Each structure stands twice: as structure tokens, then as C-alpha cells.
Amino acid sequence: MNLRSFAANVVLIIVMVAATVLLMQQISPNPLVAVYAGVLMFALGALILSLSLRTERIENQFMARERMVRGNLEDFETRMTQRYDRTMARIDEVITEFSKRAYR
């Protein structure tokens, strides 16, 4: 996650907490309830941010594995092409040898 999106998420969490505290002050005259609701909303925001960071990390790992598999497939393709070429060359040699024997 780049710094800009991380900062935007933190600002949104702060706005969410502030809105919750203000709303709870309007609903309940007890300021302790507003503080508890603010803490609960902060925890929820932190959980969402944590999930976002974890999802991005998993996505980056997946992309790295995909690049690795793609590289391995290209290497495998090269080796199989070389193997095919060697086998075809050997088959051509055997056919040529049989042709020479047939004409003798």
C-alpha cells in the first residue's frame, strides 16, 4: 500500500471515530458511552486497515509467484524445445542410416 492510500485510510478512520463520538454524545448523555463507541469504531477501522494491508501483501506474493512460475515455464519450454530438436535430429539420423542400408 502506498503512502497516499494509507494516509487516506487513516484519515477516514479518524473521521469515522469522530462521527461516532459525536453521534453517541447526541444519543446518550453519558460521555463514557461516547468514548467506548469511539474506541470500538477505532478498533473496527484498524481491523479494516489491517485486512486491507494483509490483502495487498497476499496479492503481491501471488504476483511474485506468478512471475516465478512464468519464468519457470519459459525455461521448461526452452528445455523441451531443445529436447525435441535433439530427438528429431536423432530420428533423422536413424532414418538416414536405414535409407543407406536399404540402398546397399
- 5-60 residue pLDDT tens: 888 889 999 999 999 999 998 898 888 998 999 999 999 999 999 999 999 999 99
Domain boundaries, the chain: 3-103
pLDDT score, position 2: 78
Grid coordinates representing 6 are 494509507
pLDDT of 88 higher than 90: yes
Q: What is the pLDDT of residue 100?
A: 80
DSSP code, position 30: -
Residue 96, pLDDT above cutoff 80: yes
Q: Please report the pLDDT score of residue 1 as a whole number.
A: 65
Cell of 65: 509467484
Q: How far is CA 86 from CA 37, 71, 74, 98, 100, in A?
A: 73, 23, 18, 18, 21
**pLDDT at residue 4, rounded to an integer:** 85
* CA pair distance 39, 41, nearest whole angstrom: 5
Confidence of residue 104 (pLDDT cuts 50, 70, 90): low
Residue (of 23, 44, 43, 24) closest to 34 by Cα position: 24
Instruction: For CA atoms 69, 73, 79, 83, give the dihedral sign.
Output: positive
Q: DSSP assignment, residue 86?
A: H
pTM of the model: 0.66
